[in-house]
Structure 1
Amino acid sequence: MAGGKKKSSTAPSRFQKTLSSIWQDKHMVLFKTEYTLLVTAVLWFLEIAINIWVIQKVSYTEIDWKAYMDEVEGVINGTYDYTQLKGDTGPLVYPAGFVYIFTGLYYLTDHGHNIRLGQYVFAVFYLINLLLVMRIYHRTKKVPPYVFFFICCASYRIHSIFILRLFNDPVAMMLCFGAINLFLDGRWTLGCALYSLAVSVKMNVLLFAPGLLFLLLCEFGLWKTLPRLALCAVIQLVLGLPFLLVNPVGYVSRAFDLGRQFLFKWTVNWRFLPEDVFLNRYFHLALLLAHITTLLLFALKRWKRSGSSIWTILKDPSERKETAHKVNADQMVLILFTSNFIGMCFSRSLHYQFYVWYFHTLPYLLWSGGVKKLAHLLRVLILGLIELSWNTYPSTNYSSLSLHVCHLIILLCLWLNPNPASPSHRSENKAKSH
């Protein structure tokens, strides 16, 4: 007994072993995925200082904040007809969740006048969003830790969107990444509720919907998926009820305007086209057709298990002959991020604030599957070219073409990715984990 106590007292603690391991592998800390948590923790605390510095030293740029405040002020003053709500930049075109959240910000920032406080609130949103993104990457362990420097500290445009412009896009994406974390934890019902709340802030989050529907069908089958879809619909109905009771057509047509026309002068991705082509309805229909076709091809060929019928996922899991359609964390994130990315590739017009819609998913897509054959330097170069394209203002023929080339490379590599649901791919991943 005494000898045992003496041995335990001199044995190195778990903390000491961890430090020793880090010191021994110090040259690999930035490359080994097991150090993701350590590197992201350091970068997250560094981001606190960066956000404070940017807010204090870089000038705020007014674009939509005053318009947001005017729009919610109309609701506060008793106007519930969506067609009558507008700001400096035009009519209110966001769902009801936006109104409630920015009404809270309206009161918190002294009717929108205390912009500096608003910037610090959005800095908090940024840090929460970063935590949620880092947790997703930590769960999947797909991306080497050094890449996280490009995810946060190195992006001027993302900091600008969050804390120098105060757009509503970051709020929607923060809620969306929160929902994805819940899906990873197996809390599907709560995740669907949070996802619906994200859609109620800005409907761009619907780009994740095809992938989410596929995952729900894989996890629950058709009949058990329907209640979760109903929950999403009920949340939209409840949030929009005050406006639906006054002018239902006006609310739906404004808040969920799928045919909304964008101005050519703000486009990031189609600058090389003549303006009349950009505004042409047939061009928009062609993009929609390409979007739907690409999603169907990925669902049929890349997301489902090779050799199995797509109709299998409609059955209740207990009635299936096999459990191959159960997805792990890696497959789940890949499907959701790919769904959103396809939507971005075929978007009618990407504006500068839309960068946040997919920025945090790009490293994951670049380090997934078939893209592994690309050298680290090439993948970092693609990230850099995408960042440069989004930072070119106004956009040029070259920046738009460069963005499309990068998108095409990523999309092609995702298509060449070995089917993540195939038995060989799963056994290969299992072997690597051992």
Structure 2
Amino acid sequence: MGTAKSPRVYAAAAVLALDSVLVALVIYRVPYTKIDWDAYMSQVTGFLAGERNYEALEGDTGPLVYPAGFLYIYSGIQYLTAGAVFPAQILFGLLYVINLGLVLWIYTRTDMVPLWGLMLLILSKRIHSIFVLRLFNDCVATTLTHASIVLFMKRRWYLGLTVFSVAVSVKMNVLLYAPPLLLLLLKTLSVGGVITAISCAAAVQLLVGLPFLLENPMAYVSRSFNLGRVFIHFWSVNFKFVPEQYFVSKPFAVTLLAMHLVLLFVFTRYKWLKHEKSGALKLKDKKGKPQLAADHILTVLYTGNFVGIVCARSLHYQFYSWYFYTLPYLLWKTTYPTFLRLILFTVIEVCWNVYPSNAWSSVTLLICHLILLCGLWIAPSEYPYVKQVEKRTKMPLILSAF
């Protein structure tokens, strides 16, 4: 794992302080946008009133389609805010700062992105909006995901996977990280360790969903983990150029799924296992496997998630939070010149701020995604394991909490 050097840590602390002020200004100066908050509160109110049948939990935007972790967390938010928007914005402002702190901690453990590149993490208008002007549950899931990645980088695999499962219980999109995460577990743990880690994650899902599984298991599973859900064409940011009749069709969905699986396979076989003998993972039912390097952990997780983003049938505006924070790392992972990296970053951000999205913005976004994906494929594969014992520098108090 890379050493957290003092200049990077202090630069990260400065970025965090600067963006904390910016978030406060956004909350106080920019009008709140009503989208899903009232629906969230309606669904939570039904849950707190004793309803445990998922088919009966609905809001003004439709039925509840998130796992039960969402209900528990937003019940707590409702208790703290009494359902009022402004206190919730302050709470989500704190969540934003915590999330950014976690991301900056991650970036201080790698030298992939230059110091000035850390500023890119706070330059998204859409991300600020998603957190403090829309109050989406994607923000909670994203923060928990970053917390799990911090634990993975600290080699706390069992605890990390438990936190990861909590993130999944808030929103299913976190599962995009699951295939690359499984590969990392197989690389660093024994077979028994992998089974134990997965069992911890499964136990979380069982405990979180238990009240609803006892009441109506089919309703809970089908609503919370609906892999065949068809999103509304109007809200698609990435495939708006596809005519609606094809966009909602099953062949289109199956094609994208096949592309997703093929891409995961080729990246696994030819990139992430490149340094293993014969390009295959040799499972050993014993302890003592070598420790994974920080850059390899991030490359596999971030690239695997990005592959899922590229192949997602529909990306809504709040879904940008699923991968925005990985973009600087992924861009600098490529061998592209810096000016092209910055162009890609800027154009992707612009596409996510076109409302409503149109054929041109969605085509442009897809092209940028594909250019980045090609760059990741061409980029050299890092050696996956730690070669020597690392020395760690003491971090300032503002970041050590993360």
Aligned AA (1:95): P
Matched, 1:338 2:310: no
Q: 1:95 is matched with which residue?
A: 67
Q: Is 88-97 or 374-383 further displaced after alignment? A: 374-383
Q: 2:394 is matched with which residue?
A: none
Q: 2:204 is matched with which residue?
A: 235
Matched, 1:134 2:134: no
Aligned AA (1:71): Q
Matched, 1:46 2:46: no
Q: Is 198-207 or 305-314 further displaced after alignment? A: 305-314
In 2, distance between residues paired with 1:88 and 1:281?
28
Matched, 1:149 2:116: no
Cα offset, 1:96, TM superposition: 0.7
In 2, distance between residues paired with 1:313 and 1:344?
29
Number of residue pairs aligned between Structure 1 and Structure 2 = 385
Deviation readout 1:310-357 (Å, 9 max, x if unpaired)? 6534223559xxx6x642011001100011000000001000000000
Q: 1:291 is matched with which residue?
A: 260
Deviation readout 1:170-200 (Å, 9 max, x if unpaired)? 1001001000000111111110110000000
In 2, distance between residues paired with 1:294 and 1:241?
35
Q: 1:29 is matched with which residue?
A: none
Aligned AA (1:224): G
Deviation readout 1:366-391 (Å, 9 max, x if unpaired)? 111xx23x221211111000000000
Q: 2:395 is matched with which residue?
A: none
Q: 2:397 is matched with which residue?
A: none
Aligned AA (2:351): S
Aligned AA (1:103): S
Q: Give 3-state SS (helix, strand or coil) of 1:140's partner.
A: coil
Q: Give 3-state SS (helix, strand or coil) of 2:231's partner.
A: coil
Matched, 1:258 2:227: yes
Question: Which among 323, 340, 347 is matched to residue 385 of structure 1?
Answer: 347
In 2, distance between residues paired with 1:164 and 1:333?
29
Deviation readout 1:17-54 (Å, 9 max, x if unpaired)? xxxxxxxxxxxxxxxx8622222211211112111111
Do the aligned partners of residues 309 and 234 (structure 1) sit closer, same or farther apart at CA in structure 2, a change above 3 Å counting?
Answer: farther
Q: Give 3-state SS (helix, strand or coil) of 1:166's partner.
A: coil
Q: 1:361 is matched with which residue?
A: 326
Cα offset, 1:234, TM superposition: 0.8
Aligned AA (1:381): I
Cα offset, 1:412, TM superposition: 0.7
- Structure 1: stretches of 5+ with no match in the other structure: 1-32
Give the TM-score normalised by structure 2: 0.92
Aligned AA (2:45): E
Aligned AA (1:344): I
Q: How does 1:175-186 map to 2 (within 5 A)?
A: 175-186=144-155
Cα offset, 1:151, TM superposition: 0.9
Bigger relative CO (Cα 8 Å, ≥ 6 apart): 2
- Whether the 8 Å CA contact 2:269–2:280 is kept in 1: the answer is no
Q: 1:187 is matched with which residue?
A: 156
- Whether the 8 Å CA contact 2:237–2:352 is kept in 1: the answer is yes
Q: 2:398 is matched with which residue?
A: none
Q: How does 1:29-428 map to 2 (within 5 A)?
A: 35-110=7-82, 112=83, 114-152=84-122, 154-306=123-275, 308-309=277-278, 312-316=281-285, 326-368=291-333, 371-372=334-335, 374-421=336-383
Structure having the higher Rg? 1
Cα offset, 1:148, TM superposition: 1.9
Give the TM-score normalised by structure 1: 0.86
Aligned AA (1:380): L
Cα offset, 1:72, TM superposition: 0.8
Do the aligned partners of residues 186 and 163 (structure 1) sit closer, same or farther apart at CA in structure 2, a change above 3 Å counting?
Answer: same
In 2, distance between residues paired with 1:291 and 1:204?
14
In 2, distance between residues paired with 1:57 and 1:313?
56
Deviation readout 1:71-124 (Å, 9 max, x if unpaired)? 0100111110001100010000000110000000111111x1x21000000000
Q: Give 3-state SS (helix, strand or coil) of 1:395's partner.
A: coil
In 2, distance between residues paired with 1:313 and 1:191?
23
Q: Which structure shows the bigger proportion of residues in helix conformation? A: 1
- Whether the 8 Å CA contact 2:177–2:304 is kept in 1: the answer is yes
What CA RMSD, in Å, does the superposition of the two structures yield over aligned residues?
Answer: 1.8
Identity in percent: 46
Q: How does 1:6-21 map to 2 (within 5 A)?
A: none
In 2, distance between residues paired with 1:206 and 1:310?
25
- Whether the 8 Å CA contact 1:133–1:360 is kept in 2: the answer is yes
In 2, distance between residues paired with 1:247 and 1:187?
35
In 2, distance between residues paired with 1:422 and 1:132?
23
In 2, distance between residues paired with 1:307 and 1:250?
44
In 2, distance between residues paired with 1:119 and 1:290?
39
In 1, distance between residues paired with 2:238 and 2:367?
11
In 1, distance between residues paired with 2:147 and 2:20?
20
Deviation readout 1:194-229 (Å, 9 max, x if unpaired)? 000000000100001011100000001323201110
- Structure 2: stretches of 5+ with no match in the other structure: 391-402
